Structure 1
């Protein structure tokens, strides 16, 4: 389901859908998460065994400009997902969280077994809320839930408001690129195919109670109920300046840099500990930025006929 809102280019969303609709196994339903009656009907009719929720109002910066849309989509909408799963005996709910939940945490690599109580944006707060809401439903209704904290996802068909898209567009057009924190940002860039592989594997690995969970020393990412949280990141931190250099190499043009201070709500570094993902589902993202960026730019040139 996708409501095809205009947060970014609707034509890009429709072009993605056109590819998916080539499969007889795919059906698109155009409704919004926060519309409780259509959501209830969707679950009742679908009789889903598994649900993967990647729908949300995304973006740290937009959450400063339009906070109410995050409550509507990410809180009210997620409640509707949980209610649908509860009332229709869904076997496993997998949902997108975000590395943004780590907020002011600075101990690297960022570990899901550490607490995340200091979000730096409303977007991050809604994602943390999703994890807490999921735990309550796992506890009350024995609903298996797994949250996935994605780390800086990039690749073909990505969002036009993300750095790779903006950088590529402006470098090709010989326009300046905005480089925040004067280029001293560190990111765990994770290629889309690795994210998809992680989601599929985790979906097949139904969340179960941790028999060693101890309420006197509570582990944040497991529980005595069927609840799990994982990081999905490349486990390989890269400085933003190096990321831009790779784009320049692939595009064949130099960027015009517009250095700027850190933006409100942003963090200087992300770096994922993925030990649990490796031990539980046998998967570790490993696509290099050299390969991933080339794939994106090849797609970009083809899609925009450049």
Structure 2
């Protein structure tokens, strides 16, 4: 079995690839190593994988049709796809919308077209996001809620990915599962995410930007729990729905909405330093609260998050210190 992992040098992708290797899978990773944030961090993540003889890496863009066609022979061995490559970031998407359409929409189409030609493919698993719920005021967010009012280009691009995947499952009988991730954090995390931003600012004595006056709640989810959910989904190809279409969507979250100020306090405690807070209004495209209803994930995937922020955030802080040579 060979599992194709896109975004293999990314935060979640590198963790998923490592978990697959540890359970004995052949992993074909692809990543364009773009400069959205420090390439050195992506290279360091990749270095944790490349010494394993069962890991094979291709540097390239998932939206590059010529490249994906060129590696067609390698893709014939693929039995499962874990598509995690994406242009992430809500705020960045407002200023750079074309990037999100190129990567998140065109990239999804290119991979789905490639999936049609994978003779051994059993399951196409792809990342979506809690951002698709937009300004939904009903908490917790359920996969049965309507998600046709996105408030950022990022959210709209990921909702488009869900719709395209359903279409290909319907037209071409590709079993597909979408996973809506809720604010993932942990070691090797992205520098544009809250845990890294806050930790880095506090360590260097810079103020942290606290939006909506701190009146924010998030379903912060530790990366190991997300990885467990991804692998559980991969191992359970989508069954036919009432229309015979093998497509479904799950929430992967911690099933617990946390106050942002509590999140900051735990980071302060782990660092032994206080934050200087710069209170700011709500940012365009942002939402005040997220909260995952994971009953379907529990029932169908056996998904059960185990890591509260009181445990996960100190682990992240310890990794941050080690990575930056502060211990």
Range of TM-score over shorter length: over 0.9
Corresponding residue to 1:297 among 313, 317, 325: 317
Q: Quick one: distance in 2 between partners of 1:167 and 1:136? A: 40
**Mapping for residues 1-306 of structure 1, pairs under 5 Å:** 1-47=30-76, 48-89=78-119, 90-210=121-241, 213=242, 224-306=244-326
Deviates more, 1:8-17 or 1:82-91: 82-91
Note if contact 2:182-2:220 (Cα within 8 Å) is conserved in structure 1: yes
Runs of 4+ in 1 over 3 A off after TM superposition: none
Q: Quick one: distance in 2 between partners of 1:199 and 1:43? A: 25
Structure 1 unaligned runs (5+)?
214-222
Note if contact 1:44-1:88 (Cα within 8 Å) is conserved in structure 2: no
More strand by share: 2
TM-score with structure 2 setting the length? 0.89
C-alpha offsets along residues 90-122 of structure 1, whole Å, 9 cap, x if unaligned?
211000000000002111100001110100001
C-alpha offsets along residues 178-212 of structure 1, whole Å, 9 cap, x if unaligned?
000110100000000000010001000000112xx
User: Number of residues paired by the alignment?
Assistant: 295
Note if contact 1:43-1:85 (Cα within 8 Å) is conserved in structure 2: no
SS at match of 1:27: strand
SS at match of 1:96: strand
Q: Quick one: distance in 1 between partners of 2:145 and 2:240? A: 18
1:281 is displaced (CA, Å) by 1.5
Q: Quick one: distance in 2 between partners of 1:137 and 1:288? A: 37
Q: Quick one: distance in 2 between partners of 1:43 and 1:238? A: 44
Note if contact 1:97-1:150 (Cα within 8 Å) is conserved in structure 2: yes
1:224 is displaced (CA, Å) by 3.4
